[in-house]
Amino acid sequence: MINSTQVSYFILAAYFDTGALKYLYFIVIMMLYILIICANLLLIVVICMNRSLHAPMYVFMCSLFVNDLYGSTGLFPFLLVQILSDIHTVSVPCCFLQVFCLYSYVSVEFTNLAAMAYDRYVAICFPLQYNTHMTYNKVVMLIVVIWLPPCVAIFVIILLSASVQLCGNIINKVYCDNISIMKLSCSDPSMNNIYDLITFSFTVFVPVSVILYTYIRILKVCFSGSTQTRQKAVSTCSPHLASLLNFCFGLSFELQQSRFNVISVSNILRVFLSLYSLTCPPFFNPVIYGLNMSKIRIICKIQIFSIVVDFYFCRNGNNPVL
């Protein structure tokens, strides 16, 4: 029997031999990672550098983009190394580090979306009291709530999982996953499962409940309000709902195949579905918000134009005429 002290690495069994196509996969994933970095960084810089975008709504957006960068960095470099490698193994400490990054990313994403929903609820349902409700101190408190409790909860999960005895080291995934590690346990994982369920409830069910409640209230105001109120609600809430649905869509597939052995799904499709919730939201969130929020879109165009002009004049050795 193999115990936890003897397991020094995990084997990622979901990788399959792709031959020369691995270089194509490497290029595609690397380009996607570069696009994610550039798009999220651009919006973070635009929001931070423009005082007109320091309203609570944009602060929460900035937090969302930072989390997308964080989650992507916990996954993409690892995938790129594994794609080019012939031996798909990962050390135990690195595996648990990746579990922490990916799980905390998912948890923070939900709490961040809940904070954004609350902000829209106050703005639409109590527009005259918005400035007194969403004060600087309250926004700071919400940012702390978005990040600190999920990260602490996931850290406890890692501590509990690291103490479990293991009877194997083969994970049927392309990245490290706590559920897959617990399936290798040769001791009773009841305590871990109970804590996982509690953590899942607080980091997923509670934020989703907040989102559903706030949007039910928003819909009531929209149906009873004027056309201008409905237009404002649609323009500000549609990106948020699109981001939430996209994230939940990918996560539902991941939970389904992690909890249940889905043998009817092909290996390629299984890998794609497991990666969807970790790769598509960081890519689509900047697109969703950048294209739908007219204020951000206009400022981004100005910033990009300014960069192009500065680059052109610097390349030609001239100073731009102001």
pLDDT digits (tens, 9 = 90+) for 183-229: 888 877 777 878 888 888 888 889 989 988 988 888 887 777 667 76
Looking at per-residue pLDDT, the higher value among 114 and 215 belongs to: 114
**Regarding beta strands 9-12 and 170-171, do their DSSP bridges make them parallel or antiparallel, or are they unpaired?**
parallel
Structural domain includes residue 274: yes
Structural domain includes residue 177: yes
Three-state secondary structure call for residue 175: coil
| Helix, strand, coil percentages for the chain (3-state, nearest 5) | 80, 5, 20
The token pair at 20 is 């020369």
- Calculate the average pLDDT of the chain: 82
pLDDT tens, residue by residue, 264-301: 566 777 777 778 878 888 888 888 877 666 666 677 66
Structural domain includes residue 60: yes
Q: How far apart are CA 71 and CA 104, in angstroms?
A: 8
Q: Is the separation of the CB atoms in 20 and 100 below 8 Å? A: no
Structural domain includes residue 121: yes
CATH assignment of the domain containing 229: 1.20.1070.10
pLDDT at 238 > cutoff 90: no
pLDDT tens, residue by residue, 250-269: 777 777 666 655 555 667 77
pLDDT at 97 > cutoff 90: yes
Structural domain includes residue 308: no
Q: How far apart are CA 120 and CA 39, in angstroms?
A: 24
Rg (CA), the chain: 22
Structural domain includes residue 307: no
Q: How far apart are CA 233 and CA 246, in angstroms?
A: 19
Can you give the residue range of the structural domain that contains 114?
A: 9-292
**Confidence (pTM):** 0.86
| 248 CB neighbour count, 10 Å cutoff | 16
How many domains is the chain partitioned into structurally?
1
Rounded to an integer, the average pLDDT of 86-94 is 89
Structural domain includes residue 199: yes
At residue 3 the predicted structure's pLDDT band, cuts being 50, 70 and 90, is: very low
pLDDT of 322: 43
Structural domain includes residue 287: yes
pLDDT of 126: 87
pLDDT of 115: 94
pLDDT of 2: 41
